[in-house]
Amino acid sequence: MTDAKTQIDQTVKSNDVVLYMKGTKEMPQCGFSSRVAGVLNFMSVDYQDVNVLADEAIRQGVKDYSDWPTVPQLYVKGEFVGGCDIITEMMLSGELDTLFEDNSVAFDKDAANKIREANA
């Protein structure tokens, strides 16, 4: 598990935004991963996607790394942010915008506002 932990640690620290998910950002393999990837894609966030289905050690390792039992998992600037429900709540409340702004992560503010308007 040390190798997986090292790999995860390097990935989250060398990319501003990382999404551990089932599938890829182009082809998510579960609804929860699809929702988070869809939000990031729509907001034009540049992020690294990691398909946990491709490597069982990473799939379990990311859960141990974050002490969070489910996937997807979003990391911003090396810090674990949360899973699908948390990201959805942060998106709708505007907290995700603030998190990106505070960490100098580029995103489309108009797209973020459209998501909120559509869910109001």
Binding annotation: 30
Output the known binding site for [2Fe-2S] cluster.
Answer: 30
Which of 106, 71, 76, 95 is CA-nearest to residue 11? 76
In the numeric block, the tokens 């379990």 are attached to: 60
CA distances from 20 to 29, 47, 73, 74, 117 (A): 12, 10, 5, 6, 27
Q: How many helical (H) and strand (E) elements, i.e. helices and strands, does the chain have? A: 6, 4
